[in-house]
Amino acid sequence: MLLSNRVAIITGGARGIGKGIALKFVEEGCSPVIADILVQEGKKTAEELSKKGREAVFIQCDVTDSRQVQNMVDQVIEKFGKIDILVNDAGVGPLPKPITEVPEAEWDKILDINLKGVFLCCKAVVPHLKKNGYGKIISISSGAAISPPITHVHYSAAKAGILGLTFDLALELAPFKICVNAILPGPIRTEGWEGAVFPTPRADMEDIIAEIGKAIVPMQRMGTPEDIAGAALFLASDLSAYVTGDRIIVGGGFPLRHITIPPGVFK
């Protein structure tokens, strides 16, 4: 197993991409800690994971609160005695809007959850990784960090900030054999994505999502949490022991796009 006896904190692991990563990690021998504000879903996910043969726990945690983050990390150390892997997945995606319509409070909220939360979790976990002389930090950024498909100025800025944090921290921690990398998902179908795009359930949901995938993704399908989990497993395992300060785009070819050239241009 690639993660035998490893302990991983997965923020935002109650559902969606985080849950997909947790499921993959358990299959490879890891004990996952689900850190999330979604209490009922988090507990349910931890119970589901524990049935697969590895002990999984849920800890309620708001990643924007430094006290809650530190308390969560302290609980993990008390229970498992170590932390090997940190997956920063907790995040939120607002509805698209032009910059002139983004309230300052909304800007602060999106930056706090998507970027400050990554900083706080890294800050609390790094001392334990240094002590062990080993560790993997994986932060979930977004394809929007490098090629925004829609007007999401605060979301794109936060996800781009994760890349800067990743590169800087990778340089700082390389002497301690701690690898720090980022994953940039393309369009991924999750509960959160569906709820934001389709607030009201539709009878033709499957057909609509299939059409969206064909329209915007070169591989012509929406991604799944399992697609991201495969990349996360690589970065969390010793297969990537010499990979740090890097990013992996997992988007079925997104953000590559076909361009329609008007007839007669090359005549």
Distance CA 140, CA 89 (A): 5
Per DSSP, the three-state class of 214 is: helix
Distance CA 146, CA 73 (A): 31
Name 239's Cβ contacts closer than 8 Å, sequence gap at least 6: 2
Q: Which 8-state DSSP code applies to residue 99?
A: G
Largest CA distance in the chain: 71
Active site residues: 155
CA angle 179, 41, 252 (to 5 degrees): 50
Other CB atoms within 10 A of residue 15 CB: 19
Name 267's Cβ contacts closer than 8 Å, sequence gap at least 6: none
Distance CA 264, CA 62 (A): 56
C-alpha atoms less than 13 angstroms from C-alpha of 168 in its C-beta half-sphere: 9
Contact (CB, 8 A) for 21 and 3: no
Question: Can you list the pairs that 101-107 forms with residues at least 24 positions away whose Cβ atoms lie under 8 Å?
Answer: 102/153, 102/154, 106/154, 107/154
